[in-house]
Amino acid sequence: MAKKETPQTEPEKKYALTPLMKQYYSIKAQHPDAILLFRAGDFYETFGPDAVTASGILGITLTKRANGSAASVELAGFPYHALDVYLPKLVRAGQRVAVCEQLEDPKQAKGIVKRGVTELVTPGITFDDNILDHRENTWLASVAFGPKGRAGVAFIDISTGEFYAAEGSVEYIDKLLANLMPKEIVFKKGDEAEFRHAFGDRYYTYKLDEWAFNYDSNREKLLKQFDTASLKGFGIDLLPLAVSAAGAVIYYLEYTEHKDLSHVRGISRLDQDKYVWIDRFSIRNLELFHPLSENGTSLTDVIDRTLSPMGARLLRRWISLPLKDKAAIDARLETVGHLLRDTALRDALAAELGAVGDMERIVSKIAVGRVNPRELVQLAKGLAASERIRNLCAESPNAQLRRFAERFADCSAARLSIERQILPEPALIPGRGPVIAAGVHEELDQLRRIATGGKDYLLALQQRESEAAGIPLKISYNNVFGYYIEVRNAHRDKVPQGWIRKQTLVNAERYITEELKEYEEKILGAEDKIAAIEARLYAELVASLQPTVPAIQGNAMAVAELDCLLSFARVAIEHHYCRPEIADDDVLEIKDGRHPVIEQRLPIGEPYIPNDLYLDSTSQQIIIITGPNMAGKSALLRQTALIVLLAQIGSFVPASSARIGLVDRIFTRVGASDNISQGESTFMVEMLESANILNNISGRSLVLLDEIGRGTSTYDGISIAWAMVEYLHEHPGGKAKTLFATHYHELNEMEARFERIKNFNVQVREVDKRVIFLRKLVPGGTEHSFGIHVAKMAGMPPRVIDRAKAVLEDLERQRRNGSAAGGSPDLSSVSAPASGRGRGRSRTAASGEGGMQLSFFQLDDPVLKEIRDQIRGLDINSLTPIEALNKLNEIKKLSGL
């Protein structure tokens, strides 16, 4: 959805502001469209309209404070340590949040504390683990429009460093946006109408000035970012709109105070010729990522058995972008097949992958200096696990797995450095608990001994000094003198000369020594010194790890890919999938195919009925599927698309065998939906989706159409459906493989007229007036829909069911007798219900217990039959007004009115 603009916060009247509020307004003016979290001591405060908004979203108290003389301003705040709780709530509510920190120690500040925005958090830009979903990317996208319906797009996930770009038609860019689902999109001011026309209003957006999309400056920006002399190596040097979009997204990150992008080291091109086209309608209809029903299950839910966050994110990208390269698909399938057969290797890899953690996001935090000690400990564990994964792959007899081993860089030095310097269970933040391990820094170890072993040290010092002086004494402490040695007056003559008198009491004297003074200085400043040394050592460690970021990123990608392939193997074993045969021809042949989601949702013990399917471009290009409601037509369409998609991402498929001729596009028009907010009815949405299909098909497309035309009149619907099937059959650009499920039995006639159209139906059986759905696809058409049976199953009142059966019998009898002109049902001939037979009742008059009166004319009444016959015999166009009145009078007398 488009973002809501937030008005700039300004004092309503020009009162004399306090210094704090002057500072606030000056910073707020730089970020007028963001909620400013203004750090003031131990709280983050919001003021004015920001406070009103924040209090409503966060449920915190809204108050007022003095804003200078004769003025007040709304105020809402929360403790600084609760930022991780409240910040995600604001961002998830669609707010941009500017975090304003104190840039100096208030104790050291002269006058008002210096403050500044350290980060601007938006729905598409964050490192916060409480906002990020670890199993999916948080994409920030940028769109640059060009001439002739072309556009460029760039996607970046700042939390992982992944960066992609593409250029093509607006339709292709729309497909990519729908596939990757960015959390935020930036585009040029002035392009609002074009953006809305192309992509609707379903995205959170932000507008940048026109110069932010300048090609020349953005090209230079990318070259500087990647430290290269050319963009040819990334494949985007001849894509000016893609370069403009990519540079704009980098500018936007800098604008939001994310200027350290050292982990973004390259950009990949999303080439239209490399991936299968799946439009946003098909993504929704096939429920790839999100189910249509509230408690439903998506394809991702079923096949995602990944063990690492990196693998889960990559799997979603694979589903979004299936491959068209046979060699690449076969390489994935070969690896899956070996993992499926090698149980020991599969179990060993699963154990290690579960220990890897999110290396990808942790290493990105290292690059930008945001990593915490516990994340470093997890990184060390992940690096150790990845070393073991590399060794397992290197020892495998499978060539594909050995190639995986070659992709792993040696990061053992980084791992050992972390393990040596960081405690196994460190504090979350340096300075708020121990972080650095013992033995790393001598002074730090000594200070820790002083801080933790002070009592033992003082006892030892007391005993040593007492023995040396030969007098009893004690060492104590107070806030005035600090640490001191107390000697009773009876022994003061024996006090060593090096002692310094500090205080004389009635019965004793107090002294200090150089050693005791040094110890006091150490122990009193030990905690502060410990915190400072640990912070410095930790920062040095993080800095030393930054050169290893690219190597660790490469290891993380190899781990993610292996995780996905292992997930495919585990799912194949658990659900009995087979390896598909990938072919370069146009044959699609599936034996015993099953729907991967529905079969997992069936009640325990109920088997899924599999089906065979064959399509090609020469003999059986289009299959028209008829059959009753709930027989499984829609499921058959969806399962076909999902089997093809699974095969082309490199997964085994739910079938006994499958031959998949490579598909370049998958189109589906399944299910009913509307878009009322845009004034689009269910039928309009159906036609929009259908038009998108017909305008973009190719010879290698897979087209799945369900109940086309049902949202309009019968004749209109049949006409549209017929014309679409005919268009698909005769399309000059290629013979797209098509499944067309319909209740329009008239379409069965197309088989005799078109050579590549075949009729099939989903079988049912009637037993004792009950309908049993066999859900088996067999050759031949059918004219039975059993809609009344489904209505009965849904709980319709028995009276409605009985009446529907009677009306259906009349209409079927009429069709058999050929009495309906042109096949149109004549409701005037439908018999009336048993009760309510009074003359002259209107078509809509209720008939009490008998139900609804459907006809003015009741065929068992001879008078009304005669009236009907007279009216039918009239030539209305030749009647004069007098003749019409006379005829009406005759009918009135005949009816006895």
Q: Return the higher-pLDDT residue of 110 and 192.
A: 192
pLDDT at position 68 is 56
Helices (H), strands (E): how many in the chain?
A: 29, 27
Chain centroid to CA 614:
34
Instruction: Work out the percent of the chain whose per-residue pLDDT is above 70.
Output: 86
On whether 793 is known to bind a ligand per the annotation, the reply is no
- For residue 270, report the phi and psi dihedrals to the nearest 5 degrees: -90, 90
550 residue type, one letter: P
669 residue type, one letter: R
In 757-827, DSSP assigns E strands to 757-767, 770-779
Nearest partner of 166 among 179, 158, 553, judged by Cα: 179
- For residue 102, report the phi and psi dihedrals to the nearest 5 degrees: -80, 120
If one looks up domain 19-121 in CATH, what number appears? Answer: 3.40.1170.10
Nearest-angstrom CA–CA distance, 213 and 247: 7
Q: What is the mean pLDDT of residues 413-421?
A: 96
* Measured CA angle at 637 (ends 633, 640), to 5 deg: 135
Domain boundaries, the chain: 19-121, 140-272, 581-793
Chain centroid to CA 621:
35
Q: Which two tokens stand for residue 233?
A: 């190596």
Nearest-angstrom CA–CA distance, 284 and 278: 10
Chain centroid to CA 246:
21
Residues in the chain, total: 897
Is the pLDDT assigned to residue 834 strictly greater than 70? no
Q: Return the higher-pLDDT residue of 447 and 437.
A: 437
Paired strand residues for 611:
593
On whether 631 is known to bind a ligand per the annotation, the reply is yes
- For residue 75, report the phi and psi dihedrals to the nearest 5 degrees: -140, 135
Q: Does domain 581-793 have CATH number 2.60.40.10?
A: no
Give the pLDDT band of residue 838 (cuts 50, 70, 90).
Answer: very low
Nearest-angstrom CA–CA distance, 857 and 854: 9
Q: What is the 3-state secondary structure (H, E, C) of 54-73?
A: HHHHHCCCCEEEECCCCCEE
Name 537's Cβ contacts closer than 8 Å, sequence gap at least 6. 421, 436, 440, 441, 444
Is the pLDDT assigned to residue 764 strictly greater than 80? no
Count the Cβ atoms, other than its own, within 10 Å of residue 675.
Answer: 14
Nearest-angstrom CA–CA distance, 389 and 404: 9
Is the pLDDT assigned to residue 812 strictly greater than 90? no
Q: Return the higher-pLDDT residue of 808 and 331.
A: 331
Nearest partner of 285 among 869, 891, 592, 707, judged by Cα: 707
Nearest partner of 390 among 550, 516, 556, judged by Cα: 556
Nearest partner of 352 among 385, 384, 395, judged by Cα: 385
The mean-pLDDT minimum among 365-369, 507-511, 517-521 falls in 517-521
pLDDT at position 825 is 55
Q: Does domain 140-272 have CATH number 3.40.50.300?
A: no
Q: Is 239:135 a contact under the CB 8 Å cutoff?
A: no
User: b/e string for 687-714 if b means 16 or more Cβ within 10 A?
Assistant: bebbebbeebbeebbbbbbbbbbbbbee
Handedness of CA 306, 308, 309, 311 (dihedral sign): negative
Task: Please report, to the nearest 10 degrees, the dihedral formed by the alpha carbons of residues 473, 477, 478, 483 taken in order.
Answer: 90
Q: Report the run of H or E that residue 689 belongs to, with start and end.
A: helix 682-694
Nearest partner of 363 among 139, 162, 146, 549, judged by Cα: 549
Q: What is the mean pLDDT of residues 718-740?
A: 89
| 602 torsion bin: left (phi>0), alpha (psi -120 to 50), beta (else) | beta
Nearest-angstrom CA–CA distance, 202 and 751: 41
pLDDT at position 843 is 40
pLDDT tens for residues 633-674? 888 999 999 999 999 999 999 999 999 999 999 999 876 554
Handedness of CA 391, 394, 396, 402 (dihedral sign): positive
Q: How crowded is the C-beta side of 606, counted as CA atoms within 13 Å?
A: 9
On whether 892 is known to bind a ligand per the annotation, the reply is no
pLDDT at position 835 is 52
On whether 354 is known to bind a ligand per the annotation, the reply is no
Nearest-angstrom CA–CA distance, 211 and 220: 14
pLDDT at position 7 is 45
On whether 14 is known to bind a ligand per the annotation, the reply is no
- Give CA separation, 744 vs 591, 640, 706, 756, 787, in Å: 27, 22, 11, 19, 13
pLDDT tens for residues 238-283? 999 999 999 999 999 998 888 889 999 999 999 988 999 998 888 9
Q: Return the higher-pLDDT residue of 470 and 139.
A: 139
| Strands across the sheet containing 115-121 | 63-66, 72-79, 43-47, 35-40, 97-102, 115-121
Is the pLDDT assigned to residue 66 strictly greater than 50? yes
The mean-pLDDT minimum among 11-15, 407-411, 499-503, 724-728 falls in 11-15
In 404-517, DSSP assigns E strands to 474-478, 482-488, 500-504, 508-512
Q: Is 551:386 a contact under the CB 8 Å cutoff?
A: no
Q: Which two tokens stand for residue 776?
A: 């088996």
Q: Note the pTM of the prediction, 2 decimals.
A: 0.80
On whether 632 is known to bind a ligand per the annotation, the reply is yes
Helix axes 326-341, 399-407, angle to 10 degrees: 100
164 residue type, one letter: Y
- For residue 119, report the phi and psi dihedrals to the nearest 5 degrees: -165, 140
Count the Cβ atoms, other than its own, within 10 Å of residue 381.
Answer: 18
For the ranges 451-465, 642-656, 710-724, the maximum mean pLDDT occurs at: 642-656
pLDDT tens for residues 843-883? 433 343 444 444 444 445 666 667 777 777 777 777 777 77
Long-range contacts of 683-687 (CB under 8 A, 24+ apart): 683/711, 683/712, 686/711, 687/720
SS3 163: strand
Q: Which two tokens stand for residue 833?
A: 């219900």
Name 424's Cβ contacts closer than 8 Å, sequence gap at least 6. 377
Give the pLDDT band of residue 774 (cuts 50, 70, 90).
Answer: low
The mean-pLDDT minimum among 65-79, 339-353, 471-485 falls in 65-79
Q: What is the mean pLDDT of residues 433-452?
A: 88
Q: Report the run of H or E that residue 418 belongs to, with start and end.
A: helix 412-421
Q: Which two tokens stand for residue 883?
A: 């003749």
For the ranges 166-170, 463-467, 687-691, the maximum mean pLDDT occurs at: 166-170
Q: Mean pLDDT in the chain?
A: 85
Nearest-angstrom CA–CA distance, 146 and 165: 15
- For residue 215, report the phi and psi dihedrals to the nearest 5 degrees: -65, -50
Nearest-angstrom CA–CA distance, 167 and 188: 16
pLDDT at position 784 is 64
